[in-house]
Structures are given as structure tokens and as C-alpha cells.
């Protein structure tokens, strides 16, 4: 913090120095313009000196501004009061919804169920693209579209603007959303074109209103973005290697909201409520956690995760996650709104998963499997599957 204040002080002084020199040069320029051709050569000597001084002052200004930027970028977002302290395991459980389902047989891992009903093919995924890739096949492919359509229908009904967002973005968007900080190793980069593959459409949806002053007088602006998502999964070697639980690529519908900072905490709870509504429709048992400060990443000031119960793993695993980024992303991306005085101010940005397709399919297969090897389709999803109420085991 001290470093930041010092850097800002230095920048202010450098700017003031450069400003006054520029003013002097400007006045001098006018004098030269009005001078007669005979008078000019004598004046130009002084002009050269002035130009050199201005140049030097501007260099110092640029340096001071860069230093301040660096100091700023190094600092992650400020955590909201009440967020649990500590690391990954120090979360607080806020609530638990539903009861653990009871099985009168030994529930199989989602990988087994998926193969049994022919929902995906990871062996051929690996053959074609490498480990952590897959083909969704038959009922799995249909489930993807059903889940996406159910999510988009819910979001649209709630007033979100549906969006299909680009999966490749420029460095500014990646940097501005905070993904080149602590999570830089997670991100795919295309060197040749200097483009990044997004890990979430949050990146594109935040970039959408960058360098804009948006109108928030009618309340938050909400977008539901669908895109492919790519994650290197560096540092997770050997973790969740089977099936489609943790993969390098998946499709996702993401909620994204822009609102005035003072409304951000209530908006965060609304996003959480929409996530819960969706999980309820899928008839899943899950809990909501308040992620600890050490596990927030650089952009979030608070993060709630919904973790569904996976019976074969006998664990709660993250299905959705919603972050309140307060003004962190908006300050970097120049996303502003006019406050009640008409003055531009950084807006707050928030995001939340509606459905991360493959992981949700994994949950559905594992949770709704039946003794006969079939998988029951939750009621809400059936209209999007032509009325199908169960997936039968594939032949062979």
C-alpha cells in the first residue's frame, strides 16, 4: 500500500512538471508562428532546448505512470469483509440443499455410467486430441444441447441478454479480467496471432463493454454467454484424469452482470439464486460454500461455489461458481457508468456459472443412475430431449 502511494505521488509530480513545460512550449510555439522570417533563427535555438526538456519530462512521466501501473497490477482485488480467512480447505458451508440420494446398489463412477450408456468416448478423444479430451456421443451430445437450451431459457426468462461469445480474445481482455495474474499458467496462448483461448466467456463478456460508459439507471445489465472454454489444467496432473470431469475443453453458459458497486453484493446473491434454481431443476443434492480468501484468485472479492454430491466419489464437487469482482475488472478495462451526479465511475462486474456442460453431465450420470444401468432424466430437462425420460444402456 505504501509503495502504491509513493508511486502515485511520484507520478503526480512528474505529470505536473511535464504539464508546465508543455505549456511553456505551447506559448513559445505561438511566438515563433507570429515572428517574421528574420527573427526566427534566433528563436529556434531556445526552441530546441525546450523540446529536449519537454521530451525528458515526458519520459519521466511515462516512467512514473508505468511504475504506478505495475504497482497496481501486482495487487489482487480487495477481499470483502466476512470472507473466511485461509486457503482452499478453509471455506464456510453456507447451506446444504436436499438430502444425499440413497442407492440400493453400489453407485458407479460417472466414467463407468457414461461408457455404459454411450454418452462419451474418452479413448478416442485422447487418440485424436490427447488426454483430457473427449467426444460427446449419442445421449451425451443430446444432453449438451438440452442443458444449454434449458440454461438459456432460464436466463432469457430472467431478463438476461443471450449471447454467443468469442472463445479467442486479445491480450487486453485476458489481462483486464485478471487471468494473466495468478492463473497465467492455466491459459492457452496462440503465439502466432497473440490471441488467448478463454477459460470462460466471462473474459469476452467483460471485454464487451470495455472502454465504454454504460447506462445503469435501469438497473444491472445482464448477459448469458455461451462459449467453448479451454483450460490447460497445469498442476492438476493425475487429478480427476478419468471421464469428463476435468477436461481441457468444454462448453459453458455463463451469467455476467454489470452494476453500480453499491449493488454488487445483492447482485451476487441473485446470481447465486439463479445457479441454485438451475441445480434444483436438475434434481441434484448440493451445498453452497463461501470460498476462503486464499482461494479467490486475483479478480474476485468474494466467491460462492455450488458443489454437487457425487455418490461414487462420496464427495461434494464444484459444479458452479459465482464471483463478485467489484470494480477490479472495470478499472482495468475502463468500464464505467454515470453515478447520480453524472460523473463516470468504474462499474462492478460479477459472473456466475449457469451450466458447465461436461461436469454437469458427469453429475447427472452419476447421481441419476439406476440399478438396471439406465440413467433417469430430470423432469425439467425432458422437454429439451424430445420427452425422453431415461437413457438406456447402449448395446454391446
Partner RNA sequence: GGAGGGCUCGCAUAGUGGCCUAGUGCGGCGGUCUUGAAAACCGCUAUGAGGGGUGACUCUCAUCGUGGGUUCGAAUCCCACGCCCUCCGCCA
Catalytically annotated residues: 231, 246, 318, 321, 359
Can you tell me the distance from the alpha carbon of 120 to that of 136, in angstroms, rounded to the nearest whole number? 4
Whichever of 22 and 276 has its CB closer to RNA, that residue is 22
Query: Least distance in Å: CB of 317 to RNA?
Result: 35
* All three cell numbers of 120: 462419451
359 touching RNA, by CB under 7 A: no
47 touching RNA, by CB under 7 A: yes
* All three cell numbers of 124: 478416442
Share of the chain residues as helix, strand and coil, in percent rounded to the nearest 5: 45, 25, 35
Measured in whole angstroms, the distance separating CA 271 from the mean position of its chain's CA atoms is: 14
Contacts of 179 (CB under 8 A, 6+ apart): 186, 187, 196, 199, 203, 299
CA distances from 125 to 143, 181, 244, 247, 393 (A): 18, 30, 10, 11, 21
Measured in whole angstroms, the distance separating CA 56 from the mean position of its chain's CA atoms is: 41
3-state secondary structure of 2: helix
Whichever of 204 and 312 has its CB closer to RNA, that residue is 204
Query: Least distance in Å: CB of 211 to RNA?
Result: 9
180 touching RNA, by CB under 7 A: no
18 touching RNA, by CB under 7 A: yes
25 touching RNA, by CB under 7 A: yes
3-state secondary structure of 166: coil
Choose, by CB under 7 A, the member of 6, 44, 128, 190 that binds RNA: 44
Give the pairing of strands 92-97 and 286-290. antiparallel
Contact 76, 211 (CB under 8 A): no
Binding segment toward RNA, per CB under 7 A, in 29-37, 110-118, 297-305, 306-314: 29-37
164 touching RNA, by CB under 7 A: no
Query: Least distance in Å: CB of 352 to RNA?
Result: 28
127 touching RNA, by CB under 7 A: no
Choose, by CB under 7 A, the member of 12, 72, 124, 315 that binds RNA: 12
Binding segment toward RNA, per CB under 7 A, in 48-56, 110-118, 263-271, 314-322: 48-56
Cross-strand pairs, 308: 286, 317
Whichever of 334 and 380 has its CB closer to RNA, that residue is 334
Binding segment toward RNA, per CB under 7 A, in 12-20, 103-111, 112-120, 386-394: 12-20
Give the binding-site size for RNA (rule: CB under 7 A).
28
Whichever of 334 and 394 has its CB closer to RNA, that residue is 334
- C-alpha closest to that of 361 among 21, 114, 105, 37: 114
Choose, by CB under 7 A, the member of 26, 72, 242, 315 that binds RNA: 26
Choose, by CB under 7 A, the member of 4, 5, 6, 32 that binds RNA: 32
Whichever of 22 and 287 has its CB closer to RNA, that residue is 22
28 touching RNA, by CB under 7 A: yes
The DSSP annotation for 317-356 comes to EEEEEEEE-TTHHHHHHTEEEE-TTS-EEEPEEEEEEEEE
332 touching RNA, by CB under 7 A: no
72 touching RNA, by CB under 7 A: no
Q: Is 170 exposed, middle or buried (0-12, 13-18, 19+ CB in 10 A)?
A: middle
**Positions in 211-240 near RNA (CB under 7 A):** 213
Query: Least distance in Å: CB of 52 to RNA?
Result: 8
Whichever of 258 and 316 has its CB closer to RNA, that residue is 258
CA angle, corner 233, sides to 231 and 238, nearest 5? 150
* All three cell numbers of 297: 484468485
Choose, by CB under 7 A, the member of 132, 268, 336, 359 that binds RNA: 336
Binding segment toward RNA, per CB under 7 A, in 47-55, 284-292, 347-355, 369-377: 47-55
Residue keyed to cell 474418452: 122
Residues lying near RNA in the complex (CB under 7 A) are found at: 8, 12, 15-16, 18-20, 22-23, 25-26, 28-30, 32-34, 40, 44, 47-48, 50-51, 54, 62, 213, 336, 344
Amino acid at each position: 500500500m505504501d509503495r502504491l502511494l509513493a508511486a502515485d505521488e511520484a507520478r503526480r509530480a512528474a505529470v505536473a512538471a511535464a504539464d508546465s513545460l508543455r505549456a511553456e512550449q505551447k506559448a513559445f510555439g505561438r511566438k515563433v508562428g507570429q515572428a517574421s522570417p528574420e527573427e526566427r533563427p534566433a528563436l529556434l535555438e531556445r526552441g530546441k532546448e525546450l523540446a529536449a526538456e519537454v521530451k525528458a519530462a515526458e519520459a519521466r512521466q511515462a516512467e512514473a505512470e508505468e511504475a504506478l501501473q505495475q504497482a497496481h497490477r501486482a495487487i489482487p482485488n480487495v477481499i470483502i469483509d466476512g470472507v473466511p480467512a485461509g486457503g482452499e480447505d478453509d471455506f464456510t458451508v453456507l447451506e446444504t440443499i436436499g438430502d444425499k440420494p440413497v442407492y440400493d446398489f453400489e453407485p458407479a463412477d460417472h466414467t463407468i455410467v457414461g461408457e455404459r450408456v454411450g454418452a462419451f468416448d474418452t479413448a478416442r478423444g485422447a487418440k485424436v486430441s490427447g488426454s483430457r479430451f473427449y467426444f460427446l456421443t449419442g445421449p451425451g451430445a443430446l444432453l449438451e444441447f438440452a442443458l444449454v437450451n434449458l440454461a438459456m431459457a432460464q436466463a432469457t426468462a430472467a431478463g438476461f441478454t443471450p449471447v454467443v461469445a468469442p472463445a479467442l480474445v486479445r491480450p487486453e481482455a485476458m489481462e483486464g479480467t485478471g487471468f494473466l495474474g495468478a492463473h497465467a499458467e492455466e491459459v492457452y496462448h496462440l503465439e502466432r496471432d497473440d490471441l488467448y483461448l478463454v477459460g470462460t466467456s466471462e473474459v469476452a463478456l467483460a471485454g464487451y463493454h470495455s472502454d465504454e460508459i454504460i447506462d445503469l439507471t435501469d438497473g444491472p445489465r445482464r448477459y448469458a454467454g455461451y462459449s467453448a472454454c479451454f483450460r490447460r489444467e497445469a498442476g492438476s496432473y493425475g487429478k480427476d484424469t478419468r471421464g469428463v470431469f476435468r477436461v481441457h475443453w468444454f462448453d459453458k453458459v455463463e451469467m455476467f452482470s454489470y452494476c453500480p458497486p453499491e449493488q454488487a453484493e445483492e447482485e451476487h446473491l441473485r446470481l447465486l439464486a439463479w445457479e441454485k434454481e438451475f441445480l434444483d431443476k436438475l434434481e441434484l443434492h448440493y451445498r453452497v460454500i463461501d470460498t476462503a480468501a486464499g482461494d479467490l484468485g486475483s479478480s474476485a472479492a468474494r466467491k460462492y461455489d455450488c458443489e454437487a454430491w457425487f455418490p461414487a466419489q462420496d464427495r461434494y464437487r464444484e459444479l458452479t461458481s459465482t464471483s463478485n469482482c467489484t470494480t477490479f475488472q472495470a478499472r482495468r478495462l475502463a468500464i464505467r457508468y454515470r453515478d447520480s451526479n453524472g460523473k463516470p465511475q468504474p462499474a462492478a462486474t460479477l459472473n456466475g456459472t449457469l451450466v458447465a456442460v461436461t461436469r454437469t453431465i458427469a453429475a447427472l450420470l452419476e447421481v441419476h443412475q439406476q440399478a438396471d444401468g439406465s440413467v433417469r432424466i430430470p423432469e425439467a430437462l425432458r422437454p429439451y430431449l424430445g420427452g425422453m425420460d431415461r437413457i438406456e444402456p447402449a448395446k454391446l
